[in-house]
Structure 1
Amino acid sequence: MRKQILNKLSFTLALVGLSLSIMAQSTIIKQDLSIYPKPEKGYKQLVIEVPHSKNDINKRIEFTVGKWMEVDGCNSHGLQGTLEKKDLQGWGYNYYIFKTKGDVFSTQMACPGTPNRHMFVSGQREFVNYNGQLPIVIYVPEGYDVQFRIYKAEEDIYQASEVRQKK
């Protein structure tokens, strides 16, 4: 019995170690970010780096800035703010600055008896071209984070149908 508990504990610790190792690897920055401006006071610099592939042209990145919050259990919530696209002078690259006062909007449905939930409340989504050779640099206020998705086009290409008009 004691040996089983020790084996389970060893296995759990190994999984935790592996998870921490994977998380640490996801924060490795492969691009030189020294050409980008330093974050202003109260802001932090976040970077999205995606692996280069021969199919970069068939992919897009969707990212959004937000904050983890405790909200009611039935309404949709969103973060008010603006995402400004800036040009990195002399380099031809872009970066983004998200500004917000922290105001949150939501639908106004009554949800009696519905427990609260912990969710990522985000602002407007931004779609950018996938480029595995350049980072996406975003400046956000302290306490906010960025989440992103990679969209990939299907290999199939379809043809639109012509609508014949009656004469």
Structure 2
Amino acid sequence: MKNVILFFSILYSLNMYSQEKPNYPEPEKGMKRVDLKLPKIENDKEYKVEIRFGIEMNISECSEINDFSFNIKNLEKRYGISPSRFPYYVLPKEIPTDVLTFYKSNCDKAKTVKKKVVSSQNILQEYNGHIAIPFYIPKDWTLEYRLWKVNSEFKNAEL
């Protein structure tokens, strides 16, 4: 009898655990899902991840554009399992962007080139190489990241 109870207890536990998969929605029209899957590294506690967005734009050959800005508050954090497990991020489809352009002198501003421009805002978070983090972004945007190695020693600030 004990074996039967133990068997059903294990079966029940496995069934409960298997139902804990995140429920991510399908991307809306004009959007795409990009999963940020980080490489596995040793000592992952020593790393942070910087996340930025990019857009390819047609700009004048004369312009000096290095980045664009948008309201980072529009990036909404949601969860695949409520209330707070398996986070994913959503940007609105029609997010307004601001591009500050400087022009070179003595140049034909009518000629355009396609250039990748990266956002000036970034997200800095803890490294997590175990699960992919989904981002729902407009179709013409890209998601980029870079790793930062953290020096875990704090130093006293002196006057």
Is the aligned partner of 1:84 residue 2:63?
Answer: no
Alignment: residue pair count: 130
Q: Distance in 2 between matches of 1:147 and 1:103?
A: 19
Is the aligned partner of 1:124 residue 2:112?
Answer: no
Of 134-143 and 47-56, more deviation after overlay is shown by 47-56
The residue that corresponds to 1:145 in the other structure is: 142
% same residue:
23
> What secondary structure does 2:87 align onto?
strand
> What secondary structure does 1:38 align onto?
coil
In the superposition, the TM-score normalised over structure 2's length comes to 0.66
Q: 1:78-113 CA distances to partner (integer Å, 9 max, x unpaired)?
A: 143521111222471110001252544233534232
> What secondary structure does 1:57 align onto?
helix
Is the aligned partner of 1:105 residue 2:98?
Answer: yes
1:131 Cα deviation after fit: 0.7
* CA-atom RMSD in angstroms: 2.8
Unaligned 5+ runs, structure 1 = 1-32
> What secondary structure does 2:91 align onto?
strand
Q: Distance in 2 between matches of 1:111 and 1:78?
A: 18
The alpha-carbon distance between structure 1 residues 57 and 110, as it changes in their structure 2 partners (threshold 3 A), is same
In the superposition, the TM-score normalised over structure 1's length comes to 0.63
The residue that corresponds to 2:46 in the other structure is: 58
Unaligned 5+ runs, structure 2 = 1-20
The residue that corresponds to 1:18 in the other structure is: none
Q: Is the 8 A contact 1:69 1:121 kept in 2?
A: no
Q: 1:47-80 CA distances to partner (integer Å, 9 max, x unpaired)?
A: 1111233311111111122211122422454143
> What secondary structure does 1:140 align onto?
strand
* Higher RCO (C-alpha 8 Å, min separation 6): 2
Of residues 133, 145, 151 in structure 1, which corresponds to 2:130?
133
Dislocated runs of 4+, deviation >6 Å: none
The residue that corresponds to 1:27 in the other structure is: none
> What secondary structure does 1:134 align onto?
coil
Of 59-68 and 94-103, more deviation after overlay is shown by 94-103
1:29-48 alignment, distance < 5 Å = 35-48=23-36
